[in-house]
Amino acid sequence: MPSHATSRIFVVGGTGAQGLPVISALVAGGKYSVRALSRDPDSRRAKALLALGNVTILKGTFADEAILREGFRGCDGAYINLDGFNTGEKTEIYWAIRCYEIALEEGIRFFVYGNLDYALKKAGYDSRFRAGHYDGKGRIGEWILFQNQTNRDRMGAAAFTTGPYMEMAISAMTPMMPLVEDGVVTWRVPLGNGTVPHVALDDCGYYARWLFDHPERANGMNLEVAIEQVEYHRLAEAFERVTGHPARYIDTDLDTYWNGPLKMAAGLAAGYNADLNDKSTMSFRDNFTGFWNIWKHNVIQRDYALLDEIHPNRIRTVEQWLRHEDERGRQQGKGSLWERVQPDNLFKSVPLLKLSEDGRKGAL
Ligand SMILES: NC(=O)c1ccc[n+]([C@@H]2O[C@H](COP(=O)([O-])OP(=O)(O)OC[C@H]3O[C@@H](n4cnc5c(N)ncnc54)[C@H](OP(=O)(O)O)[C@@H]3O)[C@@H](O)[C@H]2O)c1
C-alpha cells in the first residue's frame, strides 16, 4: 500500500481567514510543519503565522509556476486555497489545475483542495444560481477527484468543501454584514425562507487536520462541512438569547439589497484583478445575486451525521457558535458580541478577510 502520510505541508492562502485556523491546527502538537506562501511575508498575518512555530513563509504568488514548484518541492503535503476574489473565476480555474499537476510532478503525497460547492451543477445548471467564486472552485474539486481515480496511489487527494464563514455575519464589509438600526441588530439580506450552511473557521482547522491525519480514508473524499443550515430568523433569535439585546432578520428583495451598503461595490469585478472588459468576468452584483439565490432555494445540503462522526465536538448550532464567539471576544478584550457589532466598533475592528484588510489590492 502506498503511504500518503505527510509531515511538511505547503499551504496556499495561509495568511487568510481560512488559512490561519488551518495552519494553527496543522502545527498544533508538532506533528506537521508548514511552508506558507505569501505575497507579503512582512504582513501582520504572516508574522502571526511565524509566531506559531514550525512555520516558514515562502514569498511569491500562486500565479507563477516557478514559485509553485519551489513551494511543493521539499514538502510532502499540500493545502491549496486559491483566492478567487483576487483572480476571478477564469484565472482561478487555470491555476488550480496547474497546482494539482505540479504537485503531482513534484512528488506531493497528499493534496487537499480548498473547495466550494459546484452550485451551478447542484442547481441543475440554471444560471440564476451562478456564482463564479463557487463554480470556479467546484468544477475543479470534481476535476481533481476525477484525476485522482487514476493518480490516487501516486498522490492522494481530497476536496475540502466549506461555505460562508459564520464570522461573516458579525463582520463589516461582508454580504451579510449586521446593521444596528434603532438599537436592533438587523440582517437585511435576500434569503427568503432559505438557509445558509455557514461554517465555523475553528472547525475548518480541525477538519483540514483530520484529512491529513487519515489519508487512506480521505483519499478521494469530498468533505463538505457546515455548522447547520442557518435560517436567519433563528440566527436573530439566537443572537437575542446570547446577548440579551434585540435582533431581527428582514427578508430583502435583490434591488433593495443592491441599493444598500454594497451599492458602491455592485459594479466592480468580483475578483479584484479580473478584467471587467472580459465578458467572462462577473460583477459583484451578478456573482452575489447567484450566491443569495443558492441559499434562498436551499440548493446546498450537508451530511451532518458524517460530520458528527468525524468531529464529535464540532459546533452544531448557530447559538453554540454565537456563545463561543461572545466568550472568545470578551477574553481577547474585544468586548461582548453586542458591543462588537456596534458600527463604531465593527468598522474599527481588524477585518476578518485579508482581502478587506488590504483594501482589495494586491498582485495577481
Ligand atoms: N469568505 C468566505 O466566507 C469564504 C468561505 C469559504 C471559502 N472562501 C474562499 O476562500 C478564498 C479566499 O480565502 P480567505 O477566505 O482566507 O480570504 P482572505 O482572508 O482574503 O485571504 C486571502 C488569502 O489568499 C492569499 N492570496 C491572494 N492572492 C494570492 C496570490 N496571488 N498568491 C498567493 N497568495 C495569494 C492571501 O495571501 P497574501 O496576501 O499573504 O499573499 C491570503 O492568504 C476565496 O477563493 C473564497 O472564495 C471564502
pLDDT in the model for residue 60: 98
Distance CA 265, CA 286 (A): 11
- Taking only the tens place, the pLDDT of each residue in 138-172 is 999 999 999 999 999 999 999 999 999 999 999 99
Strands of 99-146, DSSP E: 110-115
Residue 221 backbone dihedrals phi, psi, to 5 degrees: -90, 145
Ligand 1 atom with the shortest distance to the CA of 19: 16
Ligand 1 atom with the shortest distance to the CA of 355: 20
Percent of the chain whose pLDDT exceeds 90: 99
Q: Whose CA is nearest to atom 29 of ligand 1?
A: 61
- Taking only the tens place, the pLDDT of each residue in 286-295 is 999 999 999 9
Inform me whether the pLDDT recorded for 252 exceeds 60.
yes
Average pLDDT score over residue span 124-134: 98
Query: In 10 A of CB 124, how many CB atoms?
Result: 8
Average pLDDT score over residue span 25-52: 98
Alpha carbons within 13 angstroms on the beta-carbon side of residue 64 total 13
Band of residue 301 on the pLDDT scale cut at 50, 70, 90:
very high
Average pLDDT across the chain, whole number:
98
Average pLDDT score over residue span 55-73: 98
Ligand 1 atom with the shortest distance to the CA of 133: 47
Handedness of CA 106, 157, 16, 331 (dihedral sign): negative
Pocket-testing residue among 18, 24, 230, 294, ligand 1, by greatest number of atoms within 8 A of Cβ = 18
Closest CA to 134 of 288, 362, 268: 288
- Taking only the tens place, the pLDDT of each residue in 105-119 is 999 999 999 999 999
pLDDT in the model for residue 108: 98
pLDDT in the model for residue 269: 98
Contacts of 281 (CB under 8 A, 6+ apart): 88, 89, 90, 269, 270, 271, 274, 275
Fold of the domain spanning 8-163+199-224: Rossmann fold (3.40.50)
Q: What residue ranges do the domains of the chain occupy? A: 8-163+199-224, 166-195+228-300+316-348
Handedness of CA 171, 177, 178, 180 (dihedral sign): positive
Interval between CA 160 and ligand 1 midpoint (Å): 15
Distance CA 262, CA 298 (A): 23
pLDDT in the model for residue 254: 98
Interval between CA 82 and ligand 1 midpoint (Å): 6
Asked if residue 89 lies in contact with residue 119, where contact means CB atoms within 8 angstroms, the answer is no
Average pLDDT score over residue span 193-204: 98
Q: Which residues pair with 113 in a beta bridge?
A: 80, 159
pLDDT in the model for residue 2: 74
Handedness of CA 300, 304, 309, 311 (dihedral sign): positive
Interval between CA 83 and ligand 1 midpoint (Å): 4
* Grid cell locating 77: 503535503
Interval between CA 206 and ligand 1 midpoint (Å): 19
Interval between CA 355 and ligand 1 midpoint (Å): 7
Q: Whose CA is nearest to atom 38 of ligand 1?
A: 38
Distance CA 334, CA 327 (A): 10
Interval between CA 2 and ligand 1 midpoint (Å): 32
Ligand 1 interacting residues, C-beta cut-off 6 A: 12-19, 37-40, 43, 46, 61-63, 81, 83-86, 116, 133, 162, 164-165, 168, 353-355, 362-364
Inform me whether the pLDDT recorded for 1 exceeds 60.
no
What is the CA 102 to chain-centroid distance, rounded?
23
Average pLDDT score over residue span 234-253: 98
Average pLDDT score over residue span 332-347: 97
Asked if residue 145 lies in contact with residue 222, where contact means CB atoms within 8 angstroms, the answer is yes
pLDDT in the model for residue 227: 99
The sheet that has 156-161: what strands, in order across it? 55-59, 33-38, 8-12, 77-80, 110-115, 156-161, 222-224
What CATH number is given for 166-195+228-300+316-348 in this structure? 3.90.25.10
Q: Whose CA is nearest to atom 11 of ligand 1?
A: 83
- Taking only the tens place, the pLDDT of each residue in 264-279 is 999 999 999 999 999 9
Percent of the chain whose pLDDT exceeds 70: 100
